[in-house]
A and B are shown apart, each in its own frame.
Chain A
Amino acid sequence: MSPGKKETHITQLHGAGGELMGELLERLILPRFGEDTVGRIGLKALDDGATIALPEGETGELVLTTDSHVVQPIFFPGGDIGRLAAAGTINDLAVMGARPIALTLAAIIEEGFPIADLVRILESFAVTLDEVGAPVACGDTKVMPTGDVDGIVLNTTGLGIAVRAISDADLRPGDRVLLTGTIGDHGMALLAAREEFQLKTRLESDVAPIWPLIAPVVELGDAVHAMKDPTRGGLAAALNEMARKAGACIEIEEPAIPMREPTLGLSELLGISPLEVANEGKAIIVVAPEAADEALKRLRAHPLGAEAAIVGTVTDEHPKRVVLDTEVGGRRFLDMPLGDPVPRIC
Chain B
Amino acid sequence: MSPSFHFSDPVRGKALADAIAKLAPPDPLKIVHVCGTHEMAITRNGLRRFLPETVDLLEGPGCPVCVTPARDIDTAIAIARSGAILCTFGDMIRVPGSERSLDETRSEGCDVRTILSAADAVAIARETDREVVFFAVGFETTAPMTAAILLDGPPSNLSILASHKRIPPALVALLDLPDNRIGAYLAPGHVSTIIGTGPYEEWLAERRVPVVIGGFEPLDVLYAVALILRQIRNGTPRVENGYPRAVAPEGNPAALKLIDRVFETVEANWRGIGAIPSTGLRLREAFAAFDATDRFEVELPEGKDTIPGCRCPDVLTARAVPSDCPLFSVRCTPTSPVGPCMVGSEGACSIWFRYGGERPL
Contact = CB atoms under 8 A, between A and B. Distances in A.
Interface in B62-100: 63-65, 89-91, 93, 96, 99-100
Contact of B116 (A5, A197, A338): A197
Interface string A303-346: 00000000000000010010111111111110100100011111
Interface string A176-198: 00000000000000000000110
A264 B1 CA distance: 7
A197 to B, nearest CB: 7
Interface in B8-52: 8-10, 13-14, 17, 36-37, 43-50
Contacts of B8: 326-328
Interface stretch (B102-110, B165-173, B255-263, B269-277): B102-110
Contact of A332 (B13, B14, B46, B116): B46
Contacts of B355: 332-333, 335
Given A332-B356, A332-B361, A344-B91, A338 B46 contact: no
B128 interface: no
Interface string A80-118: 000000000000000000000000000000000000000
A345 B335 contact: no
A11 interface: yes
B52 to A, nearest CB: 15
A170 interface: no
A52 interface: no
Given A328-B10, A330-B218, A331-B46, A2 B1 contact: no
Interface in A253-274: 264-265, 268, 270
Interface residues of A, number: 38
Contact of B99 (A2, A330, A332, A344): A2
Contacts of A335: 353-356
B334 interface: yes
B307 interface: yes
B108 A9 contact: yes
Q: Which of B17, B219, B334 counts the most A-chain CB atoms under 10 A from its CB?
A: B334
B55 to A, nearest CB: 15
A335 B44 CA distance: 11
Contact of A326 (B36, B46, B356): B46
B104 A3 contact: no
A126 interface: no
Contacts of A268: 1
Interface of B: 1, 8-10, 13-14, 17, 36-37, 43-50, 63-65, 89-91, 93, 96, 99-101, 103-104, 107-108, 114-116, 120, 138, 142, 218-219, 222, 307, 334-338, 344-346, 353-356, 360-361
Given A1-B335, A328-B219, A342-B90, 11 more contacts: A1-B336, A2-B101, A3-B337, A328-B8, A328-B222, A342-B91, A343-B116, A345-B90, A345-B91, A346-B36, A346-B37
Interface of A: 1-3, 5, 9-13, 19-20, 23, 196-197, 264-265, 268, 270, 318, 321, 323-333, 335, 338, 342-346
Q: Which 8 A-B pairs have the closest CB atoms?
A: A330-B46, A333-B356, A342-B90, A331-B361, A328-B218, A332-B46, A328-B13, A335-B354
